[in-house]
Amino acid sequence: MMNDSGSKRRDWVKNVAIVFLSVMLILTFFSNTIMNYSLPEVATQYVMPGSITAKIRGTGTVESSNPYNIQVNETRRVESVLVRSGDTVKKGDVLFILADKESNELKAAEEALDALMLDFELQILSGSISSSVVSNVQSGRTSTVAEYQSRIVAAEAEIDKWKKEIAEIEVAISQLQALQSQLSVSRPDTKEAEAKLAEAQAAYNLVADPVNAAQVEIDSWKAEIEKNQKLIEEHDAKTNGYVSGGDFINNISQEEYNTAGVLIENYTERINRKRQELLEWNPNYEAELVRLKEEVDKAQTNLTNDQNYIVNSSNAVSVQLSNWNLELSDKNKKLAEANQAKTQLLSDIASQLNLEKKMEKIHEQREEVNRLREQAMGAEILAPISGTISSVNVVAGQNTTAGSAIATMQPEGAGYTLSFSVSNEQARKLNPGMEAELVNSWRYDDVVVTLNTIRTDPSNPSSNKLLMFDVKGSVMAGQTLNLSVGNKSANYDLTVPNSAIREDNNGKFILIVESKSSPLGNRYKATRIDVEVMASDDTTSAVKGGLSGYEFVITTSTKPVEAGQLVRLAEN
Amino acid sequence: MKRLRNSLSAGRNILGISTVISMVLFFLLYSVSSVLSNSLDTQQMAERWSKEKDVAQISCFFSSDAGVSVDSIESFRHTLDTALMEASIVQDSTNAGARLWADAYSAEGKISVKSERATVSADAIGIGGDFFLFHPLQLLYGAYFSGNDYNQDYCILDEDAAWQLFGSNDVAGMMVTIGGTPHVVAGVIHREMGRLSEAAGLDSTVVYVSYSTLDTYGQNYGINHYEIVMPNPVSDYAYNYVKEHIGVPEKQLEVVENSGRFDLLSRFEILAAFGTRPMTGKAIIYPYWENVARGYEDIIALITFLAVLFLMYPTVLLLILFVIYWKHKTWSARTIYLFLRDKWERKMEDVRAKRLRRKAHKDTFDDEEEYI
């Protein structure tokens, strides 16, 4: 059993060894093929002398260098367009036919004139303008500024005159008022007279008061007496009337009659007694009264005279003041009238100037209407010069716009221009005078394009330049041309395809293929050569570096290739 | 007992075989992820630009309302030159024309290309700067063009466009018309195919033109992409500089450092962002190459995750075995020391013995000479 397991193990080891060796043999046999397929496949080209034509390409639109715009000055409807872009015409050829109608500008001008007239008439009829002004304006009697100024000056002088008189009157009034106040201040002293009057009055009152009191009593008694006497008389009258045949109606009774008589006697007695009392009191009381009254009157008169002195003086001043005030009022009235006259004058002047301005505008508008009428275009627009129609900007049925071009012409014999923008770096390679080539030049027989100027591109002044070309030949405005311009071809010793140029932080380089023989065949290794690119065009670059020429340079590969890596060449 | 011994032996065999398989799978998956991460040429510009790993490739993607223009890019370039000079970063290559940095930008849009035979309306990418330095598309014919060339009337067609317009692919140098203006076909490229590319937006004919051509004659959706390869003296220098100075608000901008996006750490970051990665508040439409790269990021992250799982199995197993072995070891540091000392002493004895023998032999030889 031990031998069986040992022999099985030995067989197993032997089989594994055989398999392993077989695999190793196969791998070794096909190692080259396997390795080749794992290597990146590269395409190569020779490094060889060549020419580089570095051109700048661009596209621009042909424009007329001296375009002639055919303009109309009014808005008219285009009836028909007889030319197209590109047509060659002679001077006088009919280009457009317009509808035979009054232009919109003339209509507008007439309407404007009517509006001005209406405005003028409305202002005249508004009532705020004096007839003299209207008459002056209508008759053309205009005044100069100097005349207006002199009239204003006269009005102001009138005002000044009234003002001056008013000022004088006011001075007089103020003086009188001052005087009046002085009078009130310097009145004579009436205290003595007043004291005397008071004394006299007191003395009088001393006598008069009892007398008056007694008199009051006496008067009241007298009134009673009269009343009773009247009663008696009435009674007597009634009695006498009956006697003489009248109706007997007596309202007073006998008792009353008797009483009345008694009362009369009583009151009479009282009166007499009172009088007696007065006489006893002062036998000369009446004369005394009279005397005292006179003294009072005298004292009063003295006082009044003193007072009247002041009043009389004040009255005199007042009367004068009153007169002056009347005068002042009159002058103020005249001043107001003068101010009003000046205001009216200014208003009239403004109105007249306004109306004159309106009249002037009316005259101008009338002239404009007349001018438009004279200039009204006919129905045909003729070619003003001989040349080629560059563009037609209207179509039949469209209205023209006053002041804008309805067509543009290229004068006969004049050239064209073309421009496009390039970067500053591109512009540095160009010089005025260089001739440009046309892309697809076989399409153009006689077209010559020359670089005229290089100027700053206004749309991008910091980074671009505008190349301006002169174009001659069978072209027309609006046509697009594709140009290439640059230096003529230059020859270089070492040129490579652009796809061969690589770059890293050590600069640009190319990878060349170096072959080495080996027991298993040729081995190809990629080797780095640092280069400097001197010029390049669309497909090729001229380089300078450690090359002698005719090396195989790697252009493309199936995988990224690094320097030192083995590669295999493409089978073709 | 024998059965137990046999079963233990079978178990060991199974563990051994499964460990080997797991390791093999780990290496396989890791290799695949490494191959995938190096397969995208658009993400390898830093390696192509400098072998010394002192540069970084930074990509910026803008939303449509960011308003990035050629002028703003030009302004950024000027500030970059000044910043590098202030940081004492200068070009020390002996090759004239060597540059410290290179950049490119592009905008997407639509354009109509006309030949004598046909007219094609295609998706267009208007390029500026050294776009094809960053995007070395597979050229079938012709060459790339650059936004820095003197003429900007070039275009690159894909195979479909070339076939429709001319009926052939070998059409480099022929003329087409774009917007009534003749343009030169600089080259024909092979358009990437595949599920990922089509999902990324490369599902129809595409034409590469200059940005000025797209802006003038086509429908321009606006510059949505800018990328640069520049010196990166310290970690994140280039990333931070571009992010701070590009002049676009953060809400309208996404900045990516392409150089390290497939690193191991980046892969784990993507795994950590699982679930939230598709979420974004920015209205940015990525160009197709960025969509492809993002797809690759997800795939590589997943592969890395699986590789780690396969690595964990043998690692844990080895750890367990080590622990068991350590617990049952029969040696110690002293025994090792004694063993080594013993070895050393024996060696020294051998050397001494050899020396003695040589000496004895030499004495004998000298005696014989004297005798002669």
Cβ burial of B161 (10 Å; 0-12, 13-18, 19+) is buried
Task: Give the residue on A whose Cα is nearest the Cα of B90.
Answer: A505
Would an 8 Å CB–CB cutoff place A441 in contact with chain B? no
Structure tokens at A248: 């007997």
Residue B55 binned pLDDT confidence (cut-offs 50, 70, 90): very high
Average confidence score pLDDT of chain A = 85
| pLDDT greater at residue B333 or residue B371 | B333
pLDDT of residue A20: 92
Q: Do A509 and B95 touch (CB under 8 A)?
A: yes
DSSP class per residue in B77-103? HHHHHHHHHHTT-----SSTT--S-EE
Q: Do B150 and A497 touch (CB under 8 A)?
A: no
Q: Do B95 and A508 touch (CB under 8 A)?
A: yes
Task: Give the residue on A whose Cα is nearest the Cα of B135.
Answer: A560
Rg for chain B, CA atoms, rounded: 33
Give the contacts of B3 (CB within 8 A, at least 6 positions apart): none
pLDDT of residue A251: 64
Q: Do A506 and B144 touch (CB under 8 A)?
A: no
Window 56-95 of A: residues touching B by CB (8 A cutoff) are 56-57, 59
Does B29 have pLDDT greater than 80?
A: yes
Which of chain A's residues have a Cβ under 8 Å away from the Cβ of B55? 505
Average pLDDT (B223-240) is 92
Q: Do A538 and B93 touch (CB under 8 A)?
A: no
Predicted confidence (pLDDT) per residue in B134-167, tens digit: 999 988 999 999 998 888 999 999 999 999 999 8
Task: Give the residue on B whose Cα is nearest the Cα of A496.
Answer: B143
Counting residues of chain A whose pLDDT is more than 70, the rounded percentage is 92
CATH topology of domain A39-54+489-569: 2.40.420
**CB contact at 8 A, A103 and A375:** no
d(CA A156, CA A146) in angstroms, rounded, equals 15
Least confident span in A125-134, A322-331, B29-38: A125-134
Average confidence score pLDDT of chain B = 89
Please report the number of interchain residue pairs, chain A to chain B, with beta-carbon separation below 8 angstroms. Answer: 83
- Other Cβ atoms less than 10 A from the Cβ of A440: the count is 10
d(CA A457, CA A532) in angstroms, rounded, equals 32
Predicted confidence (pLDDT) per residue in B236-265, tens digit: 899 999 999 998 998 899 999 998 889 888
Best mutation target among A420, A504, A531, A559 (most B Cβ atoms within 10 Å) is A504
Which of chain A's residues have a Cβ under 8 Å away from the Cβ of B238? none
Task: Give the residue on B whose Cα is nearest the Cα of A562.
Answer: B48
pLDDT of residue B230: 94
Q: Do A56 and B144 touch (CB under 8 A)?
A: no
pLDDT of residue B122: 93
pLDDT of residue A243: 47
Q: Do A507 and B98 touch (CB under 8 A)?
A: yes
CATH of segment(s) A56-99+386-486: 2.40.50.100
pLDDT of residue B58: 95
d(CA B265, CA B277) in angstroms, rounded, equals 16
Amino acid identity for residue A263 in this structure: L
| pLDDT greater at residue A163 or residue B278 | A163
Give the contacts of B72 (CB within 8 A, at least 6 positions apart): B247
- Other Cβ atoms less than 10 A from the Cβ of B209: the count is 29
For residue B331, the distance in angstroms to the closest alpha carbon of chain A comes to: 34
d(CA B362, CA B342) in angstroms, rounded, equals 30
Percent of chain B as helix, strand, coil, to the nearest 5: 50, 20, 30
Q: Do B98 and A506 touch (CB under 8 A)?
A: yes
Closest to A335 in 3D by CA, of A200, A101, A166: A166
Residue A182 binned pLDDT confidence (cut-offs 50, 70, 90): confident
For residue B132, the distance in angstroms to the closest alpha carbon of chain A comes to: 10
Rounded to two decimals, the ipTM of the complex is: 0.74
Which of chain A's residues have a Cβ under 8 Å away from the Cβ of B95? 506-509, 530, 532
For residue B322, the distance in angstroms to the closest alpha carbon of chain A comes to: 30
Angle at CA of residue B237, ends B234 and B242, nearest 5°: 160
Domain ranges of chain A: 2-31, 39-54+489-569, 56-99+386-486, 104-375
Q: Beta strand B119-129 with B206-210: parallel, antiparallel or unpaired? A: parallel
Percent of chain A as helix, strand, coil, to the nearest 5: 50, 25, 25
Task: Give the residue on A whose Cα is nearest the Cα of B183.
Answer: A57
pLDDT of residue B143: 92
pLDDT of residue A127: 74
Window 484-523 of A: residues touching B by CB (8 A cutoff) are 497-499, 503-509
Q: Beta strand A88-89 with A387-392: parallel, antiparallel or unpaired? A: antiparallel
Predicted confidence (pLDDT) per residue in A398-449, tens digit: 888 888 888 988 888 778 899 998 988 888 888 899 889 887 766 777 889 9
Which of chain B's residues have a Cβ under 8 Å away from the Cβ of A560? 41, 44, 48, 136
d(CA A74, CA A99) in angstroms, rounded, equals 12
Q: Beta strand A566-569 with A41-46: parallel, antiparallel or unpaired? A: parallel
d(CA B207, CA B158) in angstroms, rounded, equals 6
Does A244 have pLDDT greater than 60?
A: no
Residue A336 binned pLDDT confidence (cut-offs 50, 70, 90): very high
Q: Do A503 and B130 touch (CB under 8 A)?
A: yes
For residue A552, the distance in angstroms to the closest alpha carbon of chain B comes to: 17
Q: Do A423 and B100 touch (CB under 8 A)?
A: no
Task: Give the residue on B whose Cα is nearest the Cα of A508.
Answer: B98
d(CA A260, CA A232) in angstroms, rounded, equals 7
Average pLDDT (A307-317) is 72
Task: Give the residue on B whose Cα is nearest the Cα of A506.
Answer: B98
CA A439 and chain centroid, separation: 56
Does A490 have pLDDT greater than 70?
A: yes
pLDDT of residue B11: 78
Query: First vs last Cα of chain B: how many Å apart?
Result: 77
Does A562 have pLDDT greater than 70?
A: yes
